[in-house]
Structure 1
C-alpha cells in the first residue's frame, strides 16, 4: 500500500465481504447448531458466540 487511503479502502472491501459471507454462514449455523455447539466450534464462550452470530446474522442477540 502506498497511502493510508489505500489501507482504508482495503479494510472496507474486507468488511463488505465479511458481512456478505457472514450473514449466510450465521444463519446456517443457527439453523444447524444450538448456541453451545456453535460456541465450541468457534472457540468462544456461549455469550460471545451468540453476539457474534447475531451481528453477522443481523438479528438481536437477545432473541
Structure 2
C-alpha cells in the first residue's frame, strides 16, 4: 500500500545525502547550509503535497501510504500544510 517514489527521485535523494555527507567531512558549516537548504525545499514542496493530499483517506490509510504509524504521520502533514493534524482514533 506504500506509495512508491519514482526511481529518479530516490536516486536524487540518495545522491544528495552522499554529497552532503562528503561535504560535511571537509566543511561542516557548508554541510549545515546544505541541510538547511534541503529543509527549505522540503517545506515548500511539502506544503503543496500536503495541501493536495487526498482528503478521503482516514488516518490509518494515510499513515500506511507514508509507511509510518498514525502518530508519526500526523506531524509531517500538519507541519507541511494548512491541514489539521490527523484526528486521533
Q: TM-score range by the shorter chain?
A: 0.7 to 0.9
- What are structure 2's unaligned runs of at least 5 residues? 1-22
The answer to whether the 8 A contact 1:51-1:61 is kept is: yes
Number of aligned pairs?
Answer: 63
What is the CA distance between 1:62 and its match in structure 2? 7.1
Offset at residue 24 of structure 1 (A): 0.9
Shift of the alpha carbon at 1:61? 2.8
**d(CA) in 2 for partners of 1:62, 1:40:** 13
* Deviation beyond 4 Å, 4+ runs, structure 1: none
Name the one with the larger helix percent: 1
1:18-49: per-residue Cα shift (whole Å, max 9, x none)? 00111111112253522221111011111211
| 2:77 paired residue among 48, 53, 61 | 53
Name the TM-score, length of structure 1 as normaliser. 0.76
Name stretches of at least 5 consecutive residues in structure 1 with no aligned partner.
none
Aligned equivalents of 1:5, 1:45: Cα separation in 2 = 34
RMSD: 2.1
Distance 2:37 2:43 in 1: 10
